[in-house]
Amino acid sequence: MLKNNTFIPVVPLTVAASFLTFSFASCKDAETKDGAEKSAEAAKKSEWVQMFNGKDLTGWTPKFKGSEAGVNFKNVFKVKDGKLIVDYSEYGDWDGNFGHLFYEKSFSHYVLRAEYRFVGEQVKNGPGWAWRNNGFMIHGQTAESMKKNQDFPNSIEVQLLGGKEKGERGNLNICTPGTQLEVNGKLTKAHVINAKGPTNRGDEWVTVEIEVRGSEVIRHKQDGKVVIEYKKPQLDNGTLLEGGTISIQSETAPIEFRKIEIKELKPEKK
């Protein structure tokens, strides 16, 4: 077609419609793919991830007082029969070398879930307070940043405690090596904060969860029930702890973990 001596091509309606349909479909496909990738990423973060493989200590680093990071002193930490264990079979008397086993990644918002039980006898001459006493250290410093003769990492300890045949010994207390926190809106510098959790006797398996939301709130749970809640975990100098390492203790009490798993959480919108 000519208009003012200019050729103007005529595009059939069917071709134009096909082009528009193709363009729309391409954009829709791109949006769908992008949405699917975001959904997959979100789903991945919401899944439980096993923290040990049931075969060896891949992904974990030991650090004992008096040793450099990476030295598994007297072979205390090991995996046996699919369980991660704290074992003192190569020990004689207790020598004061507290130890920790650090997971390779740091976390901020998550739920940590574990199934464990205390077994066997305490190391000879171990401190009385350490009888059937272990714990998860959360919001901790790294193994490599600890001093060679440092007893415990700066962290919040979620105590795992066993009870005797008689008397009460509540589980999931808090200890604060190099740290402090707020309970019921008040800052406390107490080293031990009792949670009044249930007393666990004998060699029974116990399931606990630790819900951590940065510096906003931390909750200790046994069998799905909250036994203590606190806020604003911080170093002794007042620096808020938004995240950090997770480690398991060696404090003279043999213990077995048949499951340790973690699920990352999305930060809550303020």
Whether 163 and 75 share a structural domain: yes
Note whether 221 and 235 are same-domain residues. Answer: yes
Q: How many CB atoms lie within 10 A of CB 244?
A: 21
- In this prediction, residue 196 carries a pLDDT of 87
Q: What is the 3-state secondary structure (H, E, C) of the chain?
A: CEECCEECCCCCHHHHHHHHHHHHHHHHHHHHHHHHHHHHHHHHHCCCEECCCCCCCCCEEEEECCCCCCCCHHHCEEEECCEEEECCCCCCECCCCCEEEEECCCECEEEEEEEEEECCCCCECCCHHHCCEEEEEEEECCCCCCCCCCCCCCCEEEEEECECCCCCCCCCCEECCCEEEEECCEEECCCEECCCCCCCECCCCEEEEEEEECCCEEEEEECCEEEEEEEEEEECCCCECCCEEEEEEECCCCEEEEEEEEEECCCCCC
**Per-residue pLDDT tens over the stretch 178-216:** 999 999 999 999 999 999 899 999 999 999 999 999 999
* In-domain check, residue 270: no
Domain count, the chain: 2
- Residue 55 forms part of a structural domain: yes
**Is residue 201 a part of any domain in this protein?**
yes
199 and 166 in a common domain: yes
Give me the pLDDT at residue 147, please. 98
Domain of residue 121, CATH code: 2.60.120.560
Residues 14 and 126 in one domain: no
Question: For residue 221, is it within any domain?
Answer: yes
What pLDDT, in 10s, does the model give residues 209-267? 999 999 999 999 999 999 999 999 999 999 999 999 999 999 999 999 999 999 999 99
Q: What is the pLDDT of residues 10-40, one digit of tens each?
A: 445 444 444 434 444 455 555 555 655 555 5
* pLDDT digits 0-9 by tens, 61-75: 999 999 999 999 999
- Identify whether 269 is part of a domain: no
**Whether the predicted pLDDT of 5 surpasses 80:** no
| 184 and 219 both lie in a single domain | yes
Provide the residue range defining the domain that includes 157.
49-264
Residue pLDDT, tens place only, 115-144: 999 999 999 999 999 999 999 999 999 999
Same domain, 17 and 150: no
- 53 with 152, same domain: the answer is yes
If asked whether residues 123 and 143 sit together in one domain, one would say yes
Q: Are residues 53 and 167 in the same domain?
A: yes
188 with 176, same domain? yes
Would you say residue 180 lies in a domain?
Answer: yes
